[in-house]
Amino acid sequence: MCGIIGYIGDRKASEVLISGLSHLEYRGYDSSGIALMRGSDVQIFKAQGKLKNLIEILKDKEDVCSSAHIGIGHIRWATHGLPTTINAHPHTCDCKSLILVHNGIIENYQELKEELTALGCHFVSQTDTEVAAHLIAHEYGKTKNLLKAMQQAVKKIKGAFAFCAIHKNEPDRIVVAKRNAPLVIGVGQDENFIASDIPAIIEYTKKAIYLSDGQVGVVKKNSIEIYDENDLITQNKIENLPFEAIAISKMGYKHFMLKEIHEQSDVVRNVLSGKLISHDDKIKLEEFKLTPEKIKKIQRVQIVACGTSLHAGMVGKYIIERYAGIPTDVEPSSEYIYRETIADENTLVIGISQSGETADTITAIKQVKEKNSHIIIITNRADSTMARLADSLLPVSAGIEVSVAATKSYMAQLISLYMLAIYLMEQKGIEKYHDEIVNLKQELIELPNKIEALLENTNDIKLLAKKYSSYKDFIFIARGINFPSALEGALKLKEISYINATGYGAGELKHGPIAMLDENMPVLAILNQGVVYDKVLSNCEEARARQAKLIGVADYVAPKDKDLFDDLILIPHVSDILSPALNIIVLQLLAYYIAEYLGKDVDQPRNLAKSVTVE
């Protein structure tokens, strides 16, 4: 959730650190800080709020900034302690010799803090990170070696961490450590970089070393040494980074979110590429490692995910059960990990995550791997922790997503799940839906063009956004395969506009939520031609009878029913089974334009983080 950057080389460290942190802002944060080292002198600068506040402080520190070539930096998303300057990273020890930045959560920090306090350590912040700084400094007092101090300290720490530390007595190195939190070392020529995510370093290097859990590294200007959890030196592969610097450019759009919404047609093409050739051909999923014989033995599918990915999984349940005929459960990872894990070798477990670093989902995957279930990961980051845990991997190829609110990654997840459901059906030899699948494949091939047609004229959605931007509450309703669309549409609106939006199954409206309906409560109904169309229409009439403002999103509404709605947004015609892929674009745009009209920070909404790396 937080962001780490480190640099050692000949460049101005401050410039690299600030640039790196600016490319990590999408992760969500509430304070920032850097530490710059010049010989044995280390200067720490911190600021509450946005990165621009830190940049303002550094304007008067040119003497330090111009001469420091080693440094570490951090943007913090508050977990332990308020988002204040004191709680901002970097943190240090009593003697101010060791400086540390940290991502993750130290679960036993209270016990460690009591032990260190008894040893004479004094704490100034409310953070668990300061405890780690004192602990490493305490171990350094015994070893006089930063590497050994880090190795000894991490053995006493429970929880998740990515550490990046420097010490005044060892001004030629940065020592790093990782467990259940992302950390990558960028490899350069006469310089090296450290970051919690690729965007921070992509403009400087295209090569990187990914640390594994339990590893500790010593990063110098001209060398990198990695040690395993037994303190033995090991060799990690140098890999090519999958992104280009242009991927984190707005390309003329006002916000990354709007750019990423408009990229969804190409995202669909990328997901389909090489997998769906024509409507007459079978789906090709070379990354899926189960044989047809083993697929036929699958008795149960479990989908674990969080947030937006969870909503994609709910659509996945609908299509897997329909076409592959396999009972499918969808559960938030945060709930799944705290109950009995019921799975076996005949269970297919699908983990979904944009970043591939979602802590709850990683824990769920680790738990279910012990049951010998086959794990397939759907992620936008083939270099992630979850991808490395996978038995099979479906990279969604959406490109880097900068805006905190997920849009194009959701679309990529949806299409990947359609591909997987059809693939499972075909591998099982099910013929029941053959003609329907042929039509669905053709629709998938045509989908990018329909997305582009929808995005070509968004004036009606803009007007709708302005009209409803003053409302404090919103309800989204749908049934069937679009119930998850209602949940995701409500999530998008609340994420970036802070309007209290809630999604419901339309049939549940009369079982409680209908009590909230009056002229001050807009209700957005998603209704497409299909088995539940008439039922949703009936639910709309119930809402209108309570004087609620009624908005329809549909591919068709009969002329006699149009007067039921205050406002109506029509999407290109699409079958009910594929309609979530078009409906969601309307909901994304509506949320975006409402938030923009209200002057909200669209790409970096308050309190949110792009990659949730703590449970």
End position of a domain, from candidates 433, 454, 475: 454
DSSP state, 320?
I
| CA–CA separation, 106 and 101 (whole Å) | 13
| CA–CA separation, 343 and 367 (whole Å) | 10
| CA–CA separation, 554 and 547 (whole Å) | 21
Among 354-368, 393-407, 441-455, 598-612, name the most confident range.
441-455
| CA–CA separation, 499 and 514 (whole Å) | 19
* Same domain flag for 435 and 465: no
Ranges of H-type helices in 144-253: 146-154
Measured CA distances, 99 to 41, 45, 129, 506 (Å): 12, 12, 11, 54
pLDDT band at 561 (very low <50, low <70, confident <90, very high): confident
Number of domains comprising the chain: 3
> Which H or E run contains 167?
strand 161-167
In a domain, 513, yes or no: yes
In a domain, 602, yes or no: no
Q: Is the pLDDT of residue 613 over 70?
A: no
* Same domain flag for 450 and 465: no
| pLDDT for res 118 | 94
> pLDDT for 296-329, tens place per residue?
999 999 999 999 999 999 999 999 999 999 999 9
* Same domain flag for 385 and 511: no
| pLDDT for res 27 | 62
Q: Is the pLDDT of residue 249 over 90?
A: no
Residue 610 annotated to the active site: yes
* Same domain flag for 171 and 272: no
> pLDDT for 390-421, tens place per residue?
999 998 888 888 888 999 999 999 999 999 99
DSSP E strand boundaries for 542-614: 549-554, 567-570
* Same domain flag for 141 and 215: yes
Residue type, 270: N
| pLDDT for res 298 | 96
What tokens does 6 get? 């480190």
| CA–CA separation, 615 and 610 (whole Å) | 14
Kindly state the average pLDDT of the residues 512-533: 90
End position of a domain, from candidates 454, 487, 509: 454
Q: Is the pLDDT of residue 197 over 60?
A: yes
Q: Nearest 10 degrees: CA dihedral of 468, 470, 471, 475?
A: 40
Alpha carbons within 13 angstroms on the beta-carbon side of residue 441 total 24
* Same domain flag for 218 and 330: no
DSSP E strand boundaries for 387-528: 392-395, 473-478, 500-505, 522-527
* Same domain flag for 314 and 399: yes
End position of a domain, from candidates 243, 278, 304: 243
Predicted structure pTM score: 0.76
Q: Angle, nearest 10°, between helix axes 146-154 and 128-143?
A: 130
Sign of the CA dihedral with 507 first, then 510, 513, and 516 last: positive
566: containing domain: 459-597
| Phi, psi (deg, nearest 5) at residue 174 | -125, 130
Kindly state the average pLDDT of the residues 50-63: 89
Residue 2 annotated to the active site: yes
What tokens does 556 get? 């068709």
| CA–CA separation, 529 and 552 (whole Å) | 13
Q: Find, among 94, 90, 103, 144, the residue nearest to 124 by Cα.
A: 94
pLDDT band at 157 (very low <50, low <70, confident <90, very high): very high
Mean pLDDT score of the chain? 91
* Same domain flag for 420 and 491: no
> pLDDT for 64-102, tens place per residue?
888 899 999 999 877 777 888 899 999 999 889 999 999
* Same domain flag for 481 and 370: no
> pLDDT over 70 for what percent of the chain?
96
Q: Find, among 106, 133, 117, the residue nearest to 44 by Cα.
A: 133
| pLDDT for res 45 | 95
| pLDDT for res 349 | 96
> pLDDT for 109-144, tens place per residue?
999 999 999 999 999 998 999 999 999 999 999 999
| pLDDT for res 252 | 79
| pLDDT for res 245 | 57
In a domain, 88, yes or no: yes
Q: Find, among 89, 108, 95, the residue nearest to 2 by Cα.
A: 89
* Same domain flag for 79 and 100: yes
Q: Nearest 10 degrees: CA dihedral of 392, 398, 403, 406?
A: -60
Give the CATH number, domain containing residue 50.
Answer: 3.60.20.10
| pLDDT for res 243 | 64
Sign of the CA dihedral with 174 first, then 177, 181, and 187 last: positive
What tokens does 564 get? 């039921």
Q: Is the pLDDT of residue 463 over 80?
A: yes
* Same domain flag for 531 and 401: no
Three-class DSSP labels, 255-293: CHHHHHHHCHHHHHHHHHCCCCCCCCCCCCCCCCCCCHH
Q: How many residues does the chain have?
A: 615
Scanning the structure block, which residue is given the tokens 């990187």?
208
Q: State the catalytic residue, choosing from 46, 178, 492, 610.
A: 610
Residue type, 24: L
Kindly state the average pLDDT of the residues 488-516: 92
In a domain, 317, yes or no: yes
In a domain, 612, yes or no: no
| CA–CA separation, 396 and 597 (whole Å) | 32
In a domain, 248, yes or no: no
| pLDDT for res 257 | 93
Task: Give the SS3 label for residue 252.
Answer: coil
In a domain, 613, yes or no: no
> pLDDT for 345-394, tens place per residue?
999 999 999 888 888 899 999 999 999 999 999 998 887 888 889 999 99
pLDDT band at 478 (very low <50, low <70, confident <90, very high): very high
Say if residues 336 and 358 touch (Cβ distance below 8 Å): no
Give the CATH number, domain containing residue 542.
Answer: 3.40.50.10490
In a domain, 58, yes or no: yes
Measured CA distances, 425 to 304, 322, 378, 422, 428 (Å): 21, 9, 18, 5, 5
* Same domain flag for 49 and 27: yes
Measured CA distances, 496 to 264, 302, 605, 606 (Å): 19, 30, 5, 8
Q: State the catalytic residue, choosing from 2, 93, 306, 540.
A: 2
| CA–CA separation, 73 and 164 (whole Å) | 9
Say if residues 141 and 116 touch (Cβ distance below 8 Å): no
| pLDDT for res 246 | 54
In 159-182, which positions are buried (b, 16+ CB within 10 angstroms) versus exposed (e)?
Answer: bbbbbbbbbbebbebbbbbbbbbb
| CA–CA separation, 368 and 336 (whole Å) | 10
